[in-house]
Amino acid sequence: MAKIWKYGMVIFFVYALFSHNEDQLMNSIMETPAIAFELVLTLILSACLWNGFLNIIEKSGFMNYLSFVLKPLLKIIYGSIIQRKDVYAYISSNIIANLLGLGTLDTVSGLKAFKKLDEYNTHSYPSREMLTLVIRNTVGITLFPSSLLMLRQQFGSTHLYQFYPYMIIISLSVLMIGLIIQRMIDHE
């Protein structure tokens, strides 16, 4: 990747010199740090905001309600391992963070859930439940993609939700395909 970056920069500089666009190239180079800073700041503040909302959901007891509602579905997807309260707590919080589009929190709870599933794993390779968690977490079905909406707003999108139906269809399709393939390969 470093080589691609180096050669790309050389090609861009040479092209800018031959097409007499040196001013535009230098302006773009000088504006990039400010754009990157605004982007990082937006993502960090967005994560703080939604982390606060997640804490409110947890403290109000709504997390328990959501977890209760999700339990039948989780039992179908994960099987009997969901009966263990510690595993269920981590997986349900992971799913709720994922549904709310809290990528950073979703990752943390996903890692904790994976570690807890590994404690109950009797094999030297990942269990079906562990692979299911990885597939579901990688797909990242999100009902409210907060980070993506913040980025679209920051970059001036006039139709913030226009991508939403496609995102849901693609996410569900990839999840189903991933789980079907995983179940076909699974030998447990």
For each successive 10 residues of the chain (188 residues), what is the average pLDDT?
82 85 83 84 77 76 77 83 82 81 74 88 84 86 79 83 89 90 77
User: Cα–Cα distance between 161 and 71 in angstroms, integer?
Assistant: 29
Quick one: pLDDT at residue 177?
Answer: 93
pLDDT at 187: 60
Task: Give 47-51's long-range contacts (Cβ < 8 A, gap of 24+).
Answer: 47/102, 47/103, 47/104, 47/105, 47/147, 49/146, 50/100, 50/101, 50/102, 50/105, 50/146, 51/102, 51/104, 51/105
| Predicted TM-score (pTM) of this structure | 0.66
Place of tokens 């996903």: 110
Instruction: Output the pLDDT for position 186.
Output: 75
Give the Cα separation of 77 and 133 in Å (integer). Answer: 9
pLDDT value for 173: 93
* pLDDT score recorded for residue 174: 92
Quick one: pLDDT at residue 169? 92
What pLDDT does 188 receive? Answer: 53
